[in-house]
A = this chain, B = another copy of it.
């Protein structure tokens, strides 16, 4: 199976597959005589794993850890769980930050008429002389 087919089968673009290989996230694919990469079912399996982990917002580094645990038959499930929960906590933190921004924006926008006149509390706040 060539890289394009593997891409279609896993939802990981060919470009990304090559990049993951370069980053050591997947082992270097075997090559045909004419240097084409080709992929086995096991390779697709691994790529799908990566794809799903990306969808959950794991970084490449974290995915490398997950893959290592996946391949370690003797791992403790606690290690996997800790990784997942740590990541979830980081996501929640990020969500809080974004929510704060949304709230501030909401407050600012509330006081802005949003008409043809130039008076705009949003800009005034951003430009406030000292603290805001």
Contact = CB atoms under 8 A, between A and B. Distances in A.
A interface secondary structure, majority: helix
Interface of A: 45, 48-49, 52-53, 55-57, 66, 69-70, 72-78, 80-82, 84-85, 87-88, 91-92, 94-95, 98-99, 101-102, 104-106, 108-109, 112-120, 122-123, 125-129, 132
Contacts of A45: 127, 129
Contacts of A48: 127-128
Nearest to A132: B52
The copy count of this chain in the complex is 2
B127 A56 contact: no
A68 to B, nearest CB: 11
